[in-house]
Structure formats: C-alpha cells, structure tokens
Amino acid sequence: MGVSNNITAVLNMVALLCSIPIIAAGIWLAQKPDNGCVHLFRWPVVILGFLILVFSLIGFVGAYRYKETLLAFYLCCMAILIILLLVLLIFAFVVTRPDGSYGVPGKGYREYRLDGYSSWLLNHVVDSKSWRKIRACLGDSDSGCCKPPTICGYTFVNPTLWTNPSNPTGDPDCYLWSNDQTQLCYNCNACKAGLLGNLRKEWRKASIILIVAVVLLICVYVVACSAFRNAQTEDLFNRYKR
C-alpha cells in the first residue's frame, strides 16, 4: 500500500504544479484592461485553479497519511473540477471561434466588424445595457477605441485627434467619431468589434496554457485512480493474509 500511496502523493504534487499556470492565466486575463471592463470568464479560471491547488494538497495529505476516505474525496472532487475546466474551455472556444477582423487594403493592420463575432458575445458585451457600463470603464482605463474606421478618411493628428474626413459616408461610424476626449469612438461599432477582437486574442492565448494544463491533469488523474485501486487491492490482500 505504501508504494501506491507514494505514487499518488507524487501525482498530487504534479497536479498542484498544474494549478499554478491555470491561476496565472486567470490573473493575466484579469489584469488586461478590456477583460477588466467586461468581466467575462476571468474569475472562474482563477477560482478553478485555486480549487485544484487546494484539492491537490488534500490528495497529497491523504496519500501521505494513508487516508483512504480523503483520497476518495480528492478523486471525486478533482473529476468534477476537470470536467468544469473542460466545459469552460469548450465554451470559451466556441464563443470566440468566429473572427470579426479583416485586412485593410494597403495597410499593415486589421480592423473589426461586429457581424463577424458570435451572437453570445454580441448579446453579453455589446448590447446597450452592457455597453454603457463597459464604455464608462474603458474611458476610465484609457483603453483603445480611439480610432475611427480607415474608410472614413480622417486625417491623423494624434491617437485621440482625427480631423477632416474625406469619406464621411463610408461607414455609419464616421459620424459617431468625436474629438471630445470623453466620447472618441466609444459609441462606434468598430470600437465594440475591436474590443471583442482583443478579448478573442487574449482568450486564445490563455487557452493554450489551459489546454496543456488540462491534458496533464487528466493524465495525472487517470494514473492516480489506478494507483488508488492498486492501494485498495494491496490493502485487501494484506488483510486477507493476516
């Protein structure tokens, strides 16, 4: 029984280490100004990471102290946490899969349109009620949304000052741009789409870390379950011998 429990203890330490990049990814997302204004997904990732860390410690103690009930509790809770993390990853992948960016002819950058993003993001980020709060937050954090669409033909003066549009009818956003520093392009569809573009890129980056962590956690969990069953078998055999 000692060997199997030692293996389980080591595996729990590996699971504990896997929780660190999960927590780090959640904190990284939370520190991004746009995520800070939108409040989507950032805290669930941090919370799941901390729960995995806590239950990994519980599993380590259970294996080290030969507490079978504690180990069974750990395995049950870890299964639930891994499933929740997988659900979160799949959901985030589905809602961020559509890409609303497009290349601007003759320019080395991309702009964004709303109709390229998922309906879930549109309903939870850019609907009128949500956007009022997000807009105020973006204004306070000096985040993006300071550029009118290229098609409008505005003349660049500085990042928050554009003048004399040569094609004001090129896009409805052309009329929404304001050099008022409290307005800028926060009411533009291009601003809303740009925010969704940033969210998508950040979540795609974080997802890479989360996917690697989940794969490792699943491998650790499968081996830990096997070690737990072996420990139970050894325990029954030793009792039978006695």
Domain-wise residue ranges, the chain? 1-98+202-241, 118-195
Q: Give the dihedral sign, CA 59/65/68/69.
A: negative
pLDDT value of position 95: 86
Alpha helix positions (H), the chain: 2-31, 33-38, 42-64, 68-96, 119-125, 128-141, 189-241
Q: Give the pLDDT of residue 220.
A: 86
CA atoms within 13 A on the CB side of 11: 26
Mean pLDDT per block of 10 residues along the chain (242 residues) reads 66 86 88 74 83 88 77 88 92 84 77 83 78 79 72 84 84 83 80 85 88 90 78 57 57
